[in-house]
């Protein structure tokens, strides 16, 4: 009985963690990345507004307004990530520690490997200056929505 409760608790924690990653990824895609030292490149902003234009059938005036809004709010979004980023990192570490506590040794090893891959991918994106969104770059450095 206890093992089943422990398994349910572990499953719930993993589900909450996955949901948190999904929500965090969506927030980053929507409001920008968490690299405060780098401003979003105009080409990436254009790609975002182009996606909005296509999916929402924006008029030219609406697209220009959206571009102006993004330009105007860029610094405040970066300031937000400068403030929130360290707290998010702390929370992520706490969640990982709690998850590790309910996993078996074998599961802990697999979880550590999974988190190492996730961290490595994030560091790679940061090194390349890529945003934390669905924008990918081709060999010339041009960005494309995925």
pLDDT in tens, 69-95: 988 998 898 888 888 989 988 999 999
Backbone dihedral region of 104: left (phi > 0), alpha (psi from -120 to 50 degrees) or beta?
A: beta
Task: State whether residue 134 is helix, strand or coil.
Answer: coil
- For residue 73, the enclosing domain spans 2-145
DSSP three-state, residue 129: coil
Number of structural domains in the chain: 1
With bands split at pLDDT 50, 70 and 90, how would you rate the model's confidence at 24?
A: low
Neighbours of 97 (CB within 10 A): 9
Q: Per-residue pLDDT averaged across 90-108, rounded?
A: 94
The Cα–Cα gap between 143 and 125 comes to: 13
pTM greater than 0.75 (yes/no): no
Phi-psi region at 143: left, alpha or beta (left = phi > 0; alpha = psi -120 to 50): beta
Question: pLDDT value at position 99?
Answer: 94
The rounded percent of the chain whose pLDDT value lies above 90 is 31
Q: What confidence category does residue 146 fall into, taking pLDDT thresholds of 50, 70 and 90?
A: very low
């Amino acid at each position: 009985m206890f093992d089943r409760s422990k398994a349910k608790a572990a499953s719930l924690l993993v589900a909450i963690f996955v949901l948190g990653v999904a929500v965090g990824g969506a927030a980053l895609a929507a409001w920008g990345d968490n690299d405060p030292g780098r401003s979003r490149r105009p080409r990436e902003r254009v790609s975002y507004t182009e996606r909005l234009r296509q999916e929402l059938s924006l008029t030219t005036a609406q697209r220009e307004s959206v571009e102006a809004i993004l330009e105007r709010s860029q610094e405040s979004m970066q300031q937000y990530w400068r403030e929130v980023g360290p707290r998010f990192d702390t929370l992520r570490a706490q969640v990982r520690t709690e998850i590790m506590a309910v996993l078996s040794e074998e599961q802990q090893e697999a979880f550590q490997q999974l988190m190492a891959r996730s961290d490595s991918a994030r560091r790679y994106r940061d090194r390349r200056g890529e945003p934390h969104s669905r924008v990918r770059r081709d060999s010339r450095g041009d960005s494309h929505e995925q």
